[in-house]
Structure 1
Amino acid sequence: MTRIALVTGATSGIGRAIAARFAADRAEVFITGRHADTVERTAKELGVHGVVCDATDPSQVEALSRRLSSLDVLVNAAGGLAGAGSPGERSPLEVVAAEWQANLAQNLLGAVLTTTAVRDLLAPGSSVISIGSIGAERRGGSYGAAKAALAAWNAALSAELGPHGITTNVISAGYIAGTDFFQGGLTDERRDALVQETHNKRPGHVDDITQTAYFLASPGARHITGQTIHVNGGAHTTR
């Protein structure tokens, strides 16, 4: 039976790679993004369905849910490092408020809205996977705080959906090379420092996250739920 997967924020980086992995497994994949041109191009390249949707907009998310009749895998990959925009004539506190609101919206609210909109479409055996960050553990500022809240929400969501046979987990990614997360602001020195923090002395790759997501949606992971899975080469360890 063909699985149906929805991957938000899938026009680039981790989201795109995850969508491609499920498409390669012959799942029927729906991807979202905020810009029509990139959604259309990515959908055509991957051979999947593309839907323009801003995950922070309730009306757009509701419209997205109406495109689906059932769902086996939801991957909340939309998010990223959000800024406050140009200060303009805003006060310093207004700038801080804008930055925090933007990061909370992109990295927490979008996942909450999307999951809430489609939860009734998730059958027993389904999986919800959200992309977190090592920034939730240290030096993350407003972005890290939003990702920490994502993990806390996931734990509560697991308790709600677990009795229905639905697993929910967060993949907390460390430094992943080949993405535009730093938006061109990553210096060679900072990159080297991030690699040196790992135990295996290499940067993460999108495939590290992709394969983890694929496993969490597999039959072998049915007793893994409510967890934050750290994929960072040992840069942050747990016990």
Structure 2
Amino acid sequence: MNDRIVRVEGVERVFTGRRSAVHALGPIDLEIERGQFVAIVGPSGCGKSTLLRIIAGLDAPSAGEIVIARKQPTGPLCSMVFQDYGIFPWKTVLANVRLPLDIAHVRRAEANATAREWLVRTGVEGFAAAYPHTLSGGMRQRVALARAFVAHPEMLLMDEPFAALDAQLRLVLQQELLRVWEAHRRTILFVTHSIDEALLLADRVIVMSGRPGRILDDIEVPFPRPRSRDARATAEFGALEERIWNLLKGTVEADEPARVSA
């Protein structure tokens, strides 16, 4: 029997304004197994981030339900990592990473030791006393990753975490994320616009349609782990990339006349 952590059943999200309603998402049916790395790709505005927020409990569905099977009733359920880092500018790197442990009332000495351990694992150990404004974008995202992992949440929800980085740094942090994930195997839901990134990182790629976002395909990624950038050079990688692009291209082209007429 599968060890399922998330079940999404008939979830929809409608945003209602004074004059009109926007059907942004759904219906969506989706199951995520514990320890899986699942990437979600789709055109802009298809509800990828909305789905992530609903799973995190930051937004409520207009219809349907989310069922979470927790293993740690007293521990943290999930951490989120955003494109804009989400770290606090008035706190040092160490204090930012330690924050989930402070919220959990972990003793300061123990919390500092655990936070410093994650600074080492994410390559920012030399910046514990620094403030975010002194760091590069890549370093700030490393801090955000360390903070996400530090309290050992059951799930990590990542919303385009590398989108704002340059291509070279993005490759470096992809490999860092793979290294940390393969060591700890926390469930990850990872929203991205990059098909290449989704195939490199994930066990499954969920392909979503244009608004209202629905699931077009659920693709098992066949490349073995530990996974490296060498997977990109295979014919199978290219074929999967083409398959996903054709799905996305079709939904973007179908949506284009509506955009123009609007």
Flag the structure with higher strand content.
Answer: 2
| The structure with more helix, counted as a fraction of residues | 1
TM-score bin (small chain): 0.3 to 0.5
TM-score (norm 1): 0.33
Question: Greater relative contact order: 1 or 2 (C-alpha under 8 angstroms, separation 6 or more)?
Answer: 2
